[in-house]
Amino acid sequence: MQAFLGLDVGSVSTNIAVLNMQDQIIDNLYIRTQGRPIDAVQSGLREIKERNPELTIEGVGTTGSGRQLAGIVVGADSIKNEITAHAVAAIHIVPDVQTVIEIGGQDSKLIIIRNGIVTDFTMNTVCAAGTGSFLDQQAARLNIPIEAFGERAIESSASVRVAGRCAVFAESDMIHKQQTGHQIPDILNGLCQALVRNFLNNLGKGKELKGPIIFQGGVAANKGMKRAFEEALNCSVIVPTYHNVMGAIGAALLAKEQMAKLEQATVFHGFDIVDFTYTPRSFACDGCPNICEVIELKMNDQITAMWGDCCGKWSKSMPL
Amino acid sequence: MQVTFPHMGYLNIPVSNMLTNLGVSVIEAPTITKKTIELGSLHSPEGVCLPYKINMGNFLEGIERGADTLVTVCGAGKCRQGFYNSVQKISLSEKTPLQFHTINASENLFINLYGFLRTVAPNASRFSIVENIAIAIKTLKALDALNNAKNYYGARAKNADTIISIYQSGISQLGQCHTFREINKKQAEITAQMQAIATGGANQPAKVGIIGELYLLLEPYVNHNIEDLLIKQGVEVKKFVYTGDWAYSQIILRTLGLYNEETDHLKQARPYLNYHVGGDGLKSVGTALWCTRHHYDGIIHLYPFGCMPEIVAQYALKNIAKDYNIPMLALSIDEHASDVGIITRLEAFIDCLKRKQK
């Protein structure tokens, strides 16, 4: 079957989506990156191949913070930032969407869409307090599996006010609330509300958040966060079925768009790459006082790409 | 006496030429690199803005090379930067005995600049000082024009890299010119070279206005080469702050009483901001409004992290963006800002403009 492949290599998770020619999602995968993006891509693709042996890939797109690396590893036709990818996917799933809230492992975004076009966006700059990895940490500290976090939070009917401006202060505030005898569900609910407040203050300032509002990214699985957003915005928030692989869906759609524009065959290296050996290496260039950290990627013992230098001394030496 | 001064874009070229021609021995600080920023940050209070830290780095690297006389421009009252020179003077003089000259721009810049040159070049004639100031301004204006041309033609060329390298070599070639005629000729020649390559169709590329704090707009190393990043994606860039224009209007027009920056910007920013908020805050708002009224596709607001005037301006800018429905990207930059974060946001911003254009 002909299909487009989208990969979203993020800080916390690596997601893959397979779309058929009618843009329907035929398979998707959500795995943890665990700091090894190349391994995650390889094992993810291996699983996709095992589940769908009949695939013919017509185009591949990558996105997420590991998009460059993943793009070189798999041979991507389009390498796009995660903001565009998330917006494209949201418009695909809910065509009349006007607002996208996306909270991932390390960043959060707010995308404003009007008439199917992104008109504005913001991305958190300073702190990761409201993002998935912080929730992960807090869940671990309270010994609650992250999957159960949301369920526990919505058990609460009385919330506790938690300072959500900064991850460190939020944590000490939560500990303080525990010590004074508040119930865990109430604290979790308070945390959700604090993070939502933080999100809206940081990213939502001066923006008109009109419905339909989509909430996507890994954190959208958290029912406590969804409820807190609905309460704060005073309207319902849609969490799409594939909320945790939306970036990958967007990447696949962008790959399709790119292929239609280029009218040439995909540069995808094929599923064989799951057995290739990739060895990245970094070194400090001593050509000038900038001392750039240059990254060199070897594919089966052959240097395939170099990047990270600001003058192009190394990256331009590669035939691309 | 060995003179050094902080970098800001291509400002070093005419300044160096001017001083050398007057018989002053100049030691140029090395171009800004990561080392400059690290060195500057190490010797600066943590909370000051990025321009202070980099200026400091430039001075330190200049001193390392043997400079003993430091020159800087300041404008007390415009923003905190106006007082930085006094702090820098104290902290740098602790180590070695140094001469520190400050050219005050909030008073009459011409008189101050002239006075400074008289002190460091006592043997130069009055005529040659005035002549060299004039040539320096002319060179700066030519450099500004080339920068403008690069941003215009670069967005229209198939390969923006070629335009950028023509521009780069053009900058150093202009540095070799010493008369008005030579400068004019060189400027025309380089512009023609760029024009010849920019054969892009009749399509108007997406147009972005870059506004914000002066130093960040003018120093490409600090703003992560934002102009080149944009034109490589086929986006026309216009910025509204140019050293040449600034020096021309400050030194000549203002001396003649023909120009007043403040009232100009006040008029432009109305009704979104009606007060001076220090620094370039009012100008940012004024130019943003100008861009929206001239049908720009987007605005990028660049400022150093913690810059008070720009933070105040942002309040007005957000209202403009909302009222005119124009995409606006705010980038706050400090020594910790990573390339990746900026590139991701810029890329998304460009996608947003291009998809809107379609």
Of B34, B325, B341, the CB nearest to A289: B34
Using a CB-CB cut-off of 8 Å, the residues of chain A touching B318 are 205-206
Q: What is the pLDDT of residue B265?
A: 79
- Nearest CA distance, A273 vs chain B (angstrom): 26
Residues B231-239 have a mean pLDDT of 91
- Neighbour count for residue A215 (Cβ, 10 Å): 23
Contact check, Cβ <8 Å, A118/B341: no
| Helix axes of A82-93 and B339-357: crossing angle, nearest 10 degrees | 40
Length of chain B: 358
Interface test with B, best of A67, A91, A115, A119 (most B CBs within 10 A): A119
More confident residue, A272 or B108: A272
Question: Is B86 strand, coil or helix?
Answer: helix
> The tokens of A266 are what?
């995909």
Pick from A140-144, A265-269, B14-18 the range whose average pLDDT is largest. B14-18
Q: What is the pLDDT of residue B74?
A: 77
CB A19 within 8 Å of CB A249:
yes
Between the alpha carbon of residue A197 and those of residues A306, B13, B157, the distances in Å are 42, 50, 46
Of A82, A118, A206, the CB nearest to B322: A206
Which strands, in side-by-side order, build the sheet including B235-239? B235-239, B206-212, B298-304, B328-333
Contact check, Cβ <8 Å, B30/A208: no
Phi and psi, residue A167, nearest 5°: -60, -40
- Nearest CA distance, A290 vs chain B (angstrom): 5
Residue A23 contacts B where some CB pair is shorter than 8 Å: no
**The pLDDT of residue A207 is above 60:** yes
- Which residue of chain B comes nearest to A81, CA vs CA? B344
Residues A193-214 have a mean pLDDT of 85
Segment A52-105, tens digit of pLDDT: 888 889 999 999 988 988 998 899 999 999 999 999 999 999 999 999 999 987
Residues B39-55 have a mean pLDDT of 89
Q: What is the pLDDT of residue A116?
A: 86
Residues 6+ apart with CB under 8 A from A180: none
Cβ density class A265-302: b for 16+ within 10 Å, e for less: ebebbebebbeeebeeeeeebeebebebebbbbebeee
Residue B345 contacts A where some CB pair is shorter than 8 Å: yes
CB B43 within 8 Å of CB B60:
yes
**The pLDDT of residue A254 is above 90:** yes
Q: What is the pLDDT of residue A165?
A: 67
Residues B225-253 have a mean pLDDT of 86
- Confidence band, pLDDT 50/70/90 cuts, at residue A246: very high
Contact check, Cβ <8 Å, A290/B322: no
**The pLDDT of residue A243 is above 60:** yes
Q: With pLDDT > 70 as the criterion, what percentage of chain B qualifies?
A: 97
**The pLDDT of residue A124 is above 80:** no
Q: What is the spatial distance between Cα B326 and Cα B292, in angstroms, rounded to a whole number?
A: 7
Q: With pLDDT > 90 as the criterion, what percentage of chain A qualifies?
A: 35
**The pLDDT of residue B87 is above 90:** no
- Confidence band, pLDDT 50/70/90 cuts, at residue B289: very high
Q: What is the pLDDT of residue B277?
A: 81
Q: What is the pLDDT of residue B282?
A: 86
Using a CB-CB cut-off of 8 Å, the residues of chain B touching A290 are 33-35
Interface of B with A in 310-329 (CB under 8 A): 318-319, 321-322, 325, 327-328
- Nearest CA distance, A118 vs chain B (angstrom): 6
The label of the residue with tokens 């830290």 reads B53
Q: What is the spatial distance between Cα A7 and Cα A18, in angstroms, rounded to a whole number?
A: 9
Residues B155-178 have a mean pLDDT of 91
Using a CB-CB cut-off of 8 Å, the residues of chain B touching A120 are 321, 327-328, 352
> What dihedral do alpha carbons A159, A161, A165, A167 form, nearest 10°?
-70
Closest CA relative to residue A203, chosen from A103, A118, A114: A103
Query: Which residues in B245-320 belong to E strands, given as ranges?
Result: 298-304
Cβ-based burial of B201 (10 A; exposed 0-12, middle 13-18, buried ≥19): exposed
**The pLDDT of residue A319 is above 70:** no
- Which residue of chain A comes nearest to B37, CA vs CA? A290
Using a CB-CB cut-off of 8 Å, the residues of chain A touching B319 are 206
Q: What single-letter DSSP state applies at residue A315?
A: G
User: Long-range contacts made by residues B199-205, C-beta under 8 angstroms, separation at least 24?
Assistant: B199/B156, B199/B157, B199/B158, B200/B155, B200/B156, B200/B157, B200/B158, B204/B236, B205/B155, B205/B156, B205/B234, B205/B235, B205/B236
Average pLDDT of every residue of chain A: 87
CB A260 within 8 Å of CB A58:
no
The pTM for the full model equals: 0.86
Average pLDDT of every residue of chain B: 87
Using a CB-CB cut-off of 8 Å, the residues of chain B touching A310 are 339
Kindly report whether the peptide bond that precedes residue B327 is cis, defined as omega within 30 degrees of 0.
no
Interface of A with B in 205-264 (CB under 8 A): 205-208
Lowest mean pLDDT across A149-153, A214-218, B352-356: B352-356
Closest CA relative to residue B35, chosen from B307, B221, B224, B302: B221
Of A117, A120, A205, the CB nearest to B355: A117
Residue A108 contacts B where some CB pair is shorter than 8 Å: no
- Confidence band, pLDDT 50/70/90 cuts, at residue B23: very high
CB B133 within 8 Å of CB B117:
yes
Contact check, Cβ <8 Å, B33/A290: yes
Kindly report whether the peptide bond that precedes residue B45 is cis, defined as omega within 30 degrees of 0.
no
Question: Is A302 strand, coil or helix?
Answer: strand
Length of chain A: 320
**The pLDDT of residue A128 is above 70:** no
CB A269 within 8 Å of CB A42:
no
Q: What is the pLDDT of residue B42?
A: 92
CB A155 within 8 Å of CB A185:
yes
Q: Taking the mean position of all CA atoms in its chain, how far away is CA B239?
A: 10
Residues B120-130 have a mean pLDDT of 91
Interface of B with A in 100-119 (CB under 8 A): none
Question: Is A139 strand, coil or helix?
Answer: helix
More confident residue, B105 or A19: A19
Q: What is the pLDDT of residue B78?
A: 66
Q: What is the pLDDT of residue A245?
A: 93
Q: What is the pLDDT of residue B61?
A: 94
Pick from A294-303, B14-23, B246-255 the range whose average pLDDT is largest. B14-23
Contact check, Cβ <8 Å, B344/A84: no
| Interchain CB contacts (distance < 8 Å): A and B | 61
Helix (H) or strand (E) holding A169, with range, is helix A167-179
Q: What is the pLDDT of residue B201?
A: 63
**The pLDDT of residue B76 is above 60:** no
Using a CB-CB cut-off of 8 Å, the residues of chain A touching B336 are none
**The pLDDT of residue B353 is above 60:** yes
- Which residue of chain B comes nearest to A115, CA vs CA? B356
- Confidence band, pLDDT 50/70/90 cuts, at residue B39: very high
Residues B275-282 have a mean pLDDT of 82
Residues B149-164 have a mean pLDDT of 91
